[in-house]
Amino acid sequence: MPEIREVIARSPATIGLGKVANEAEEDSDHAHNDALVYHDLFKKFGNWNICYLPKHYSNHSAYIEQFQVRDDDVWVVSFIKAGTTWTQEMAWMIGNDMDFENAKTILPVRFPYFEFDASWDENGNDTTTKPAKGKRNMTSMEIVHHMPSTRYIKTHLPFNLLPQQIQTRERSPKILYVARNPKDVCVSFYHHKVLTEAYDKSIDEFVDEFVDDVSQSNYAPYWTHVKEFWKRRHQSNILFITFEDMKRDLRSVVEKVSQFMGKTLSESDMEKLLSHLSFESMKSNPYVNYDEITDKLTRVHGTERKTHFMRKGKVGSWKEELSLQSIQKMDAWISKNRIPGLWDDVL
């Protein structure tokens, strides 16, 4: 597994959002040939539900499709900015019997981002950072392949781009899917882009992009990403949780995740874990807060740090930031797509 400085030097895709100018010459079997967006940076992938990813994903799609999954894997899956890091740390701590000592290793090493190398330009043509001197001998997917069990794996891929062994249920790893309401995802995603990409448009302009599935670019569209796991939430190897439930009653979610993972926590361990997972603790924890990575990115962009990877950790922060016009746009978009029974008390 690479050192953190190698990770940050190579691409902001480490945290999910690198825009890449690579133009792959050939389409993969997954790709639809007819639609490219963002000046050929992104294209459609997927044989049924569509997902927008950088074009060079084509170079890795076959390996990802045929990736060898293990039944004892633990996968955390989410759309961007949905509570992924929080869920990763919870799952890793529970699965590793509250090993606080080994938790003093950065999260991307303990719980790697599976398709990391499908989200950066292997030819060094990234538009936002220069490639590091020298390269790893293995891709992020190959690194995960060679990890000893139990493997803890993070991905933002939608269901239909996950390895075939998961889709066909040939293998049944434990999958934790964490979802967050789209208004808070949108606001968090906006600040994430400001921090990691020096995004310089207004939040209202970003709302226009977010409700346009094409303009969302990475991993869009939002709704199908969530719906594909929502309809599988009763599958025995999938646990669907929400950011909102974690904020409302973290203890109950920890209990649910522990049961799902076949673990039992003592009351003492529960109290320690709840403290460890508090927003204040997570934000100040250098092993999970990505401050070193985002510091590097602000220096690369020559911009002033205006926020942090872990910013507010609130439910409903959109009410403090979105204009009435943007709220109305999002409400119209949500009304066409909303999932009955999900976020009825939030949206």
Q: Which residues are catalytic?
A: 156
DSSP 163-191: -HHHHTTSS--EEEEEE--HHHHHHHHHH
- Say if residues 208 and 329 touch (Cβ distance below 8 Å): yes
- Say if residues 48 and 147 touch (Cβ distance below 8 Å): no
User: Can you read off the two tokens belonging to residue 158?
Assistant: 């939608």
Report d(CA 280, CA 63) in Å as an integer. 39
Residues sharing a CB contact under 8 Å with residue 196, sequence separation 6 or more, in sequence order: 12, 15, 17, 294, 297
User: Can you read off the two tokens belonging to residue 251?
Assistant: 């203890």
Return the exposure string of 167-198: e unless at least 16 CB atoms fall within 10 Å of the residue's CB, then b: eeeebbbbbbbbbbbbbbbbbbbbbbbbbbbb
**Angular region, 106: left φ>0, alpha ψ -120 to 50, beta rest:** beta
- Say whether 141 sits in a helix, a strand or coil: helix
Report d(CA 243, CA 235) in Å as an integer. 20
Report d(CA 91, CA 85) in Å as an integer. 10
Report d(CA 190, CA 141) in Å as an integer. 28
Lateral strand order in the sheet of 238-242: 152-155, 74-78, 174-179, 238-242
- Say if residues 17 and 188 touch (Cβ distance below 8 Å): no
Q: Report which of 1, 25, 115, 134 is spatially closest to residue 63, judged by C-alpha positions.
A: 115
Q: Report which of 51, 54, 163 is spatially closest to residue 114, judged by C-alpha positions.
A: 163
